[in-house]
Amino acid sequence: MDNRHEAGFEIVAREDFSDVTFLLEIDHPLMAKAARPGQFVITILHDHGERIPLTIADFDRERGTVTLVIQAAGKSTREMQQTCRVGTRLLSVTGPMGEPTDLGDVRKVVLVGGGLGVAPVFPQARAYKENGAYVIGIIGFRTKELVFWEDKFKACCDEFIICSDDGSVGIKGLVTEGIKRAIRKHGDIDRLVAIGPPIMMKAAAETTRPHGIETVVSLNPIMVDGTGMCGGCRVKIGDGIKFACVDGPEFDGHEVDFDDLMNRLQRYKADEKLAFEKWSEDCRQQLPEDSDPAAAGPAASGPERQQPQVDAGMFDGTYRMGMPKGK
C-alpha cells in the first residue's frame, strides 16, 4: 500500500554506527530528485520539535530516498535517536537548502572528512569522480570502532587514506597527517574540500595555505530558519559577512574566521544543557514505578548516561546546531 499521502516522511531504513551515531533513510522522492552534494535539509521530529539542520549524506533518485547521518549530541537529536525507527515518520523534511557544491573543472581533488563530517563529504567524492576528477579521500576517526562507509569511499576514490587518533586503523594521527601525505605525493592538487569540526577544518586550511591549494569548507553556524531571514547563521568571511544558509554552506577555508565561528557555537551551551536535563527528567517520570530506567533506553537513564564521549564530528557539516527551542 502506498502510504505517501500520510502526514510526514517515512523512515525506511536505520543503521546505528555507534552508541551516538545513527543513519536514517527517508522516503522523499521529490527531495531525492532535487538534492545535490553540499546541500542540507531542516528536519522537525514532531509538532513540538525544533528545527534541526542536517547535511544530506546521500540520496538515491531511483529509490526516491534521502539519507541523513546524525549524532545524538543534544536534546532533539537524542530524542530522534530514541524514537526514530523504521516505519515511523518525521513531521517535516524541508529542502534541499544551501548552494550545491560547484564541481567546476577540477582535475584532482582531496576530500577530507573528520568524524561525522565523513558522511556529508561522501556525495561530493562521488560527484567529483563522476565529473572526471582524480579523487583522493581522507577520513579520520578517534578509533577503529567508529569507522563507517569505508567501502562506499573506496568505490569512488582513486586513493583512500584513513586516520585514527589511537592508530587502531590506518595512519595514527589527525587528518592533517593524511593531507600532508597527499601533498607530498601529488604536486598538482587543484582543490581540497574539508568537512568536520571547525577546529579540524581550520587545521586543514592552514595545512594547505603554504601550498596555495584552493580549500573549501562546509560551515556549521547556529541556524534557525535556513532561508537567510534571521541572520543567526552569519559568518565572517574575509572582510565581509555571509549567511551560511543561503550564501553557503561552503566557503573559502582560507578566508573563514574560525575563531569567531567557534565562539558563536558555544553561545547557547548552557541553554542546551538545561533543556536536555529537563527532557531526561520528563522521560524518567513517564516510566512505570517498578521499571528499570536503563532498560527504557539511554534518554530515560538520566543525564549521566546521556553524556557519552561523542565523536569529534559533533559540530560539523552534518549536525548544525539549531537555536534553542526548549533545547
CA distances, 192 to each of 2, 98, 108, 134, 312 (Å): 43, 20, 9, 12, 20
User: Which grid coordinates belong to 256?
Assistant: 573563514
What pLDDT is stored for residue 240 in this prediction?
94
Tell me the residue ranges of DSSP E strands in 36-167: 40-44, 52-55, 58-60, 65-71, 89-90, 92-97, 108-114, 134-141, 159-164
Q: What is the pTM of this model?
A: 0.83
Name the fold adopted by 108-261: Rossmann fold (3.40.50)
What is the tens place of the pLDDT at every residue in 237-272?
Answer: 999 999 998 999 999 999 999 999 999 888 777 877
**Band of residue 231 on the pLDDT scale cut at 50, 70, 90:** confident
What is the tens place of the pLDDT at every residue in 11-31?
Answer: 999 999 999 999 999 999 999
**Band of residue 289 on the pLDDT scale cut at 50, 70, 90:** low
Give residue 248's Cα distance to chain centre.
15
Domain boundaries, the chain: 108-261
Q: At what angle do helices 198-208 and 258-265 cross, to 10 degrees?
A: 170
What pLDDT is stored for residue 285 in this prediction?
65
d(CA 193, CA 155): 18
Neighbouring residues of 13: CB distance < 8 A, sequence distance ≥ 6: 23, 24, 25, 65, 86
Closest CA to 89 of 5, 31, 32: 5
